[in-house]
Chains A and B, each alone.
Chain A
């Protein structure tokens, strides 16, 4: 991915900015230009979603795409945010055998990918099991 294409979405990649439709009161992530339920009656406004939710399903990637080869095996999951939308994310700081459906997770800022050794570095949100405190 080229730098402009990444940069355009920085706001939603560094923090979970989605949109909320004032008509149907549903949240969407990533932001959409039209609410798929309300269409021309859409009343969309930007909303920062809490980076917490639970794993709906997951897989362990053993055969990775370019740029991710060094990380295998790694966990990819669909997470349902506490405020509604679902998103695809890597689950980090979790042993692969500990991943499970229903597992609570929270956001953590990580490096997503980089365009080779001399290209831009892309950051964003991944998810991890909540930090055990004390």
Chain B
């Protein structure tokens, strides 16, 4: 059975903060940081936005594009490392808001930045096995970086939703391949507001080892080579890592440029790879083949080979695109940013 994407939707909050604004507070060298991270600004959620609101807005767009009855959705999974509740699922809020409830299964996923692609894989399995007709997989985050930490320049808010099914596909997911190991490169302990990370340890033993081995595994499994793909999307914690990974794997600058959003919106964690894919789907032509490799700290990578179908041209166009959301922005200063992200704790 062919399994793939019936519709997708995205959401990026409108608030932006520039690298210069953060660097000025912490005495950072803005130009050096921008060059090093290849990030200019990041998107941040407002006081009334969180992973649930991002998931709902993105999913409503995905439903509108797919044109399906939400009651036919049999599974809802939300991947995030910033679920609004520690205990109580984001997926139930989403299920009710899009009226997929009550006959469905649902759960929240957490796997650092790749919880959303894990949700896609789960839905693929459920659809492929005939257990459900459609599954909804969301990757969304309102990521936090500790004040003054390098992560503060990139930890961003946004997300994307994918409806996975087997008919009326806008893109077929031909194959997926995952690599997972126990690698403590980045973590957040229960009850702690900000994550910690291993600095340079996040690079070669974590990001590169997993992204490269998952992608290589997928290529081998599918008998494809980088030249067979029109686009490639890699997880983008900064601008440098995905470019280096692409180069090492033999992908060109042209293949990855379209899906590289980190420079303009930062790292949206569980949303990052999925928003990158959405950006590609916003402009891909029928027949185009896309390689997607997500990475989640802790650590693991999910790699996908996706081919766009003829349906995409008729289903696209009515729902807001990634560029629509990137275009609508309002810059805030650092003071407003710490208020919006609730970095100031007001004693009650």
Q: Is any CB of A less than 8 Å from a CB of B in the complex?
A: yes
Measured CB to CB, the residues of A under 8 A from B are 10-11, 14-15, 70-71, 90, 92-93, 108-112, 116-117, 121, 123, 126, 131-134
11 contacts between A and B (CB under 8 A): A14-B96, A15-B97, A71-B48, A92-B48, A93-B328, A111-B53, A123-B52, A131-B324, A133-B320, A133-B324, A134-B324
**Interface pair B47/A71, CB less than 8 Å apart:** yes
Q: Report chain A residues within 8 Å CB of B84.
A: 121
* Residue of B whose beta carbon sits closest to that of A125: B97
Q: Report chain A residues within 8 Å CB of B320.
A: 131, 133
Q: Report chain A residues within 8 Å CB of B99.
A: 15
Q: Report chain B residues within 8 Å CB of A121.
A: 50, 52, 84-85
* Residue of B whose beta carbon sits closest to that of A114: B84
Measured CB to CB, the residues of B under 8 A from A are 14, 46-50, 52-53, 56-57, 60, 84-85, 93, 96-97, 99, 320, 324, 328, 339, 348
Q: Report chain B residues within 8 Å CB of A134.
A: 324
**Interface pair A111/B14, CB less than 8 Å apart:** no
Report how far A109 CA is from B84 CA in the complex, Å: 15
Q: Report chain A residues within 8 Å CB of B14.
A: 93
Q: Report chain B residues within 8 Å CB of A112.
A: 48
Q: Distance (Å) between the CB of B249 and the closest chain A CB?
A: 34
**Interface pair B328/A111, CB less than 8 Å apart:** no
Q: Report chain B residues within 8 Å CB of A93.
A: 14, 328
Report how far A133 CA is from B97 CA in the complex, Å: 24
Q: Report chain A residues within 8 Å CB of B93.
A: 123
Report how far A126 CA is from B57 CA in the complex, Å: 12
Most buried by A among B48, B97, B99, B339: B48
If A11-B96, A14-B96, A131-B328 are given as contacts, then 10 extra A-B residue pairs at C-beta distance below 8 Å, sorted by A number, are A15-B97, A15-B99, A70-B47, A108-B57, A110-B48, A110-B49, A121-B85, A123-B93, A126-B48, A133-B324
